[in-house]
Structure 1
Amino acid sequence: MRFKNNIKPTKKKLILFVGFLCIAIFLWAVKEKNRPIQKSPVPANIEQVKKHLTALTQTPKFRNHKNVDQLNEIGEYIHQNFKTYADSTGFQEYQVDGQVYKNVICSFGTENSKRIIIGAHYDVCGDQQGADDNATGVTALLELARMFKGQKLNYRVDLVAYTLEEPPHFRTENMGSFIHAKYLKDNKIDVYGMASVEMIGYFKDEKGSQDFPVGILSWIYGDKGDFITLVKKFSGAGPFVGNFVDHFKDSNQIKTATFPAPKFVGGVDYSDHLNYWKFDFPALMITDTSFFRNKNYHQSTDTLETLDIKRMTKVIDAIFLSIIHFK
């Protein structure tokens, strides 16, 4: 995941944006009162989450674009776990500079034609474990595969583990998510929407632990890194995104903020959902806000020990409950 923190919006745009956002936050706060916590029929398992996080981060080589063999080993680990639970499982292979890279895909509810995509990238930036970025997202996919098994779904659900999200391939057609989104578009596949799971394991309750691309947003969201964020387009997000946000919040698993993202705010499209936006599919990002909170971002200190696994499992539960409640 890549973010920049150098955007300077105009004063007029900022005032308008904050005004709309304040109204949205007020309405959201009213709705939040007395909301019960939903019980998942198949809750995320902390021990399974730890197992997957360990397998993804404790590897002989770092899972970056240079270590293709290591990426393939991780891809096979994902594939074998998907295969245990899914209706169908496979690889989407493509070549970059003579090397073969692989997206790993599994599907549930294959009797349905219209589908939902839940994706996360399994590569890292440089020489680091990438525990939060993005072993947490891939672990969510692996655990969701276990949870979806045997569930009655009203949509086909494809879990997609992408390769080559990170530099030097970010924002290029080499991204695994670009390859996948283009395939869907070219084949006229009926997609209801997409959710990118991008860094969901880092939380802090201390004051001052949360930064923002625009400082004034701390007046609205607070300065504690104790929430998960659903990032969506400021307008025209589509029915899937609105329904997902509603279901996610209705589950009441974890403190949640919705960030309707205007184009002038940097970082809002810095993950795999950007390629689905590019092909006009409704999409959003589920994130702990990356380096706006986690200062281990793209550093060797992004390790398993820094994660809040208990809260991470609640994010997974919320995703699961959101999907099974789609009508």
Structure 2
Amino acid sequence: MNFKNITKPAANKIIIVAGLIFIALFCFAADCKDRPVQKSPVPADISLVKSHLQALTKTPEFRNYKNIDQLNAVADYIQQNFSKYGDSTTFQEYPVDDKIYKNVITSFGMENKKRIIIGAHYDVCGDQQGADDNATGVTALLELARMLKGQKLNYRIDLVAYTLEEPPYFRTENMGSYIHAKYLKDHHIEVYGMASVEMIGYFRDEKDSQSYPRGVLSWVYGNKGDFITLVKKFGAGDFVNHFTTNFKEANQIKTETFTAPKFVKGTDFSDHLNYWKFGYSALMITDTSFFRNKNYHETTDTLETLDLPRMTRVIDGIFLSLIHLK
């Protein structure tokens, strides 16, 4: 290669890719220590996980923005389950195109001033069940509500089920997560950080079952879709760094971290993007979405394609990470 002929943009891309590989190799080396599996005081219940997934996916109509009655029915289901466990449960309603849409919020540890947001969207893209995208994330919230009840917490934890994450509202101010993040900012509410739970149920052990936004990353992470990913940006902040450390130490499931600029495809494809916009420390917990799950935004995204035992261990990892935050 004649390096004299490399343009500045091309050189920058080479530097970025090389940097990503270096960071990935460093993180991989640092994570190779054998760790014991932490025991959860309140383990996630796989039978309840399955029951919630069935309730969210086997609906009379698809839970997309066009079917407002179905979205409201799902919001009611979430609210009813949150209310069993949370210290306070509310709807955050807002108008879009002459219709009222709802976020559903439940809170724990309300004696603490600084709060953590754990969020997931309950709407789907188009006419499909959206089992992985994102009934898995909402089910995680529902189980976390049960698990967090009665726990001694160092932070207030708000579990938030968002509406209107999917197109045509994605990346607009009509996203439920934008409405929620803006409310926090406008009211000067002290937020330690946020985690978006976005597709956590699809795992595969076959060779070449995992792809990446940059192909060279397979050299580091391998080509099997057998791990959960914690996606963060550079300068992620204290919450993300501490949460990530706790999640790895819990050792519930094979875990990789991915730190990259926002322009790398997929790094901001969920509700955490709106907390980034308002300057909050935020990350995404994901099975990598369309880089692994080819049912993404297809009618084939059904409950039968999910790996419930591994999904349940992801929920345990989130729970342990939260209760151990100092």
TM category (shorter chain) comes to over 0.9
User: 1: distance between equivalents of 2:32 and 2:313?
Assistant: 17
User: What is residue 249 of structure 1 aligned with on the other side?
Assistant: 248
1:176 aligns with 2:195: no
> Does structure 1 retain, via aligned residues, the 8 Å contact 2:21–2:217?
no
1:263 to partner: Cα distance: 3.0
1:127-153 deviation digits (Å, cap 9, x = unpaired): 000000000000000000000000000
The equivalences for 1:134-283 within 5 A come to 134-233=134-233, 235-283=234-282
**Aligned pair count?**
318
User: 1: distance between equivalents of 2:289 and 2:316?
Assistant: 20
1:176-234 deviation digits (Å, cap 9, x = unpaired): 0000000000000000000000000000000100011111111111110000000000x
User: What is residue 109 of structure 1 aligned with on the other side?
Assistant: 109
1:267 to partner: Cα distance: 1.5
1:13 to partner: Cα distance: 2.8
User: 1: distance between equivalents of 2:299 and 2:110?
Assistant: 40
1:24 to partner: Cα distance: 4.5
User: What is residue 5 of structure 2 aligned with on the other side?
Assistant: none
The alignment yields a C-alpha RMSD, in angstroms, of 1.2
User: What is residue 325 of structure 1 aligned with on the other side?
Assistant: 324
1:34 to partner: Cα distance: 1.8
User: What is residue 295 of structure 1 aligned with on the other side?
Assistant: 294
The equivalences for 1:23-62 within 5 A come to 23-62=23-62
> Does structure 1 retain, via aligned residues, the 8 Å contact 2:201–2:307?
yes
User: What is residue 64 of structure 1 aligned with on the other side?
Assistant: 64
TM-score by length of 2: 0.95
1:214-260 deviation digits (Å, cap 9, x = unpaired): 11111111110000000000x21100010011000000000111000
**Residues 111 and 306 from structure 1, CA distance in 2 versus in 1: closer, same or farther, beyond 3 angstroms?**
same
Unmatched 5+ residue regions in structure 2?
1-8
User: 1: distance between equivalents of 2:162 and 2:94?
Assistant: 12
- State percent identity of aligned pairs: 74
1:10 to partner: Cα distance: 3.6
1:84-137 deviation digits (Å, cap 9, x = unpaired): 001000000000011000000000000000000000000000000000000000
User: What is residue 121 of structure 2 aligned with on the other side?
Assistant: 121
> Does structure 2 retain, via aligned residues, the 8 Å contact 1:22–1:220?
no
User: 1: distance between equivalents of 2:119 and 2:290?
Assistant: 20
User: What is residue 5 of structure 1 aligned with on the other side?
Assistant: none
User: 2: distance between equivalents of 1:23 and 1:180?
Assistant: 33
User: 2: distance between equivalents of 1:315 and 1:120?
Assistant: 14
Which amino acid is 1:264 matched to? F
SS for the counterpart of 2:196 is: strand
User: What is residue 88 of structure 2 aligned with on the other side?
Assistant: 88
User: 1: distance between equivalents of 2:98 and 2:12?
Assistant: 49
TM-score by length of 1: 0.95
User: 2: distance between equivalents of 1:10 and 1:83?
Assistant: 54
1:311 to partner: Cα distance: 0.2
> Does structure 1 retain, via aligned residues, the 8 Å contact 2:114–2:156?
yes
**Residues 31 and 128 from structure 1, CA distance in 2 versus in 1: closer, same or farther, beyond 3 angstroms?**
closer
1:59 to partner: Cα distance: 0.2
> Does structure 1 retain, via aligned residues, the 8 Å contact 2:28–2:220?
no
User: 1: distance between equivalents of 2:30 and 2:157?
Assistant: 32
SS for the counterpart of 2:123 is: coil
**Residues 27 and 97 from structure 1, CA distance in 2 versus in 1: closer, same or farther, beyond 3 angstroms?**
closer
User: What is residue 303 of structure 2 aligned with on the other side?
Assistant: 304
> Does structure 1 retain, via aligned residues, the 8 Å contact 2:144–2:319?
yes
**Residues 31 and 223 from structure 1, CA distance in 2 versus in 1: closer, same or farther, beyond 3 angstroms?**
closer
User: What is residue 313 of structure 1 aligned with on the other side?
Assistant: 312
Which amino acid is 1:166 matched to? E
User: 2: distance between equivalents of 1:29 and 1:61?
Assistant: 47
Which amino acid is 2:298 matched to? Q
SS for the counterpart of 1:274 is: helix
1:20 to partner: Cα distance: 4.8
> Does structure 2 retain, via aligned residues, the 8 Å contact 1:231–1:285?
yes
User: 2: distance between equivalents of 1:210 and 1:28?
Assistant: 17
User: 2: distance between equivalents of 1:20 and 1:131?
Assistant: 31
> Does structure 1 retain, via aligned residues, the 8 Å contact 2:24–2:220?
no
SS for the counterpart of 1:85 is: coil
Whichever of the two has the greater Rg, that structure is: 2
1:262 to partner: Cα distance: 1.3
1:31 to partner: Cα distance: 3.9
